[in-house]
Structure 1
Amino acid sequence: MIKVFLADNQPVVRYGVKSFFEGHSEIKISDTASNFEEVTSTLPKKNFDILVIDLELEGLASINYIKSLIKDYPKVKFIIYTNLSEQMFAPNALKTGVSAYVHKNAELQALESAILKVNEGEIVYSDLVKKNLALITKQRKNERLYRKLSTREIEVLRYLSEGRKNKEIAKTLNLNEKTISTYKLRLLTKLHVTNLVDLVNKAKTLDIV
């Protein structure tokens, strides 16, 4: 039996996923968490095969936190299950070592399939992501600039798009406020805009956030 640990903010998601796998012959939702603190406190106490986690989980300020967990718990496979843009976040998530990226728009059968495949050692991501990764090398430099944003730049852009101020973002990511300003300037340059409003609009147009 594949023991799965599900971490998601929403009670309805936790309930729905757990109900879907109730009585499953191969998969069991062994435990759930509603925030990142619960994840870090539960992992050392119990044995899981797979952690299914939302990138928007409360307390999960940076995907680097997941990277650290992957290092600390090498026997656990990680699956991202989120509403965040697959096009933008999946490639960077996979770079951290996660085994799969499943968008919440997909049917629960897609999550089921990912769990089964990941348990067998496969790396799972959609045809859309595969296609986008393949297209990167074929595009002209100015067409793929936004795809070269670093993981940290994407995180800062996400928080800027939510209307957060530099000081608040700095506190969330445990960084200096001046560092956030530097990331903001890099984003303006890379996306060829001159102000925050245009930056956010450009990000939405390109489906970055």
Structure 2
Amino acid sequence: MITVCLADNSPVVHLGVQTYFNNNSTIKVKYGVTNFADLERKLAADLVDCVIIDVELEGLNSILKIKTLLQEYPDLKVIFFTNVSDTMYAPPAIKAGVKAYVSKNVILPELENTITRVSNGDLIFSSEVKKAIEILNKTKKSERLYKKLSTREIEVLRYFSEGRKNKEVAKILDLDEKTISTYKLRLLQKLSVTNLLDLINKAKQLEII
């Protein structure tokens, strides 16, 4: 039996997923949580085989938290189940140790298949993500922007693209505002632009966000 924790903000998602797996013979949703702090507490008390988690889960303000979680529980399998575009989050997610990135638009049998395959050792990402990574690997080193940008820089860039100010981003990521200013400067330099508007436009053009 594959034991699962569902970590999602939405009660509707919890109800739908738990109902679907209610009488499943190989997969059991052992418990659900609605924020990252509860996820950490639950795992410490009752470890499961797999966590299905939304990128936008309350309290999950950095993919680095997933990396830390997997360092603590190296056998844990993490599946991102989200509506957030995988073109931005999948590459750093792979680096962090996430085993699959699944859109919430899929039918639940596909999620079931993903859980089973991940438990058997497979990595599952969309064809678009695989294609993007292949292109990056074939691109000249100086042009590999995903390689140039750190996970944290990509996260900061995402919040900038949402129209958030330095102070807001600092609060979300629990960092000093000066640190966010430093990240902003690095992003401007790495993408060879001189202002925030051009930074966002270039990031979109390059499909980083």
Deviation at 1:142, TM superposition (A): 6.8
| Structure 1 residues 31 and 162, CA gap change in structure 2 (3 angstroms) | same
* Post-superposition CA distance 1:110-141 (Å, at most 9, x none): 32111001111222222222221111132356
Deviation at 1:36, TM superposition (A): 0.8
Deviation at 1:201, TM superposition (A): 3.0
* Counterpart-to-counterpart distance in 2, 1:141 and 1:49: 37
* Counterpart-to-counterpart distance in 2, 1:170 and 1:128: 31
Partner of residue 88, structure 1: 88
Partner of residue 37, structure 1: 37
Matched, 1:69 2:69: yes
* Contact 1:2–1:28 (CA under 8 A) maintained in structure 2: yes
Deviation at 1:191, TM superposition (A): 2.6
Partner of residue 115, structure 1: 115
| Structure 1 residues 198 and 102, CA gap change in structure 2 (3 angstroms) | same
* Contact 1:62–1:155 (CA under 8 A) maintained in structure 2: yes
The aligned amino acid for 1:151 is T
* Counterpart-to-counterpart distance in 2, 1:205 and 1:190: 15
Which consecutive residues of structure 2, in runs of 5 or more, have no partner in the other structure?
none
The aligned amino acid for 2:192 is H
Q: Secondary structure at the match of 2:180?
A: helix
Partner of residue 145, structure 1: 145
* Counterpart-to-counterpart distance in 2, 1:140 and 1:107: 38
* Counterpart-to-counterpart distance in 2, 1:19 and 1:39: 20
Percent identical pairs in the alignment equals 56
* Counterpart-to-counterpart distance in 2, 1:84 and 1:34: 17
| Structure 1 residues 133 and 77, CA gap change in structure 2 (3 angstroms) | same
* Counterpart-to-counterpart distance in 2, 1:146 and 1:40: 29
Q: Secondary structure at the match of 2:57?
A: coil
Partner of residue 127, structure 1: 127
Q: How does 1:170-209 map to 2 (within 5 A)?
A: 170-209=170-209
Q: Secondary structure at the match of 1:59?
A: coil
**Alpha-carbon RMSD:** 1.9
TM-score normalized with structure 1 length: 0.90
The aligned amino acid for 1:73 is Y
Deviation at 1:58, TM superposition (A): 0.7
Q: Secondary structure at the match of 2:208?
A: coil
* Counterpart-to-counterpart distance in 2, 1:192 and 1:94: 26
* Post-superposition CA distance 1:59-117 (Å, at most 9, x none): 11111111111111223211111222212211211111122121223333332111001
Deviation at 1:47, TM superposition (A): 2.9
The farther-off stretch of 35-44 and 184-193 is 184-193
* Counterpart-to-counterpart distance in 1, 2:185 and 2:106: 35
Deviation at 1:26, TM superposition (A): 1.1
TM-score normalized with structure 2 length: 0.90
Q: Secondary structure at the match of 2:44?
A: coil
* Counterpart-to-counterpart distance in 1, 2:41 and 2:28: 20
* Contact 1:146–1:191 (CA under 8 A) maintained in structure 2: no
Deviation at 1:43, TM superposition (A): 0.8
Show structure 1 runs of 4+ deviating over 4 A. Answer: 140-143
Partner of residue 97, structure 1: 97
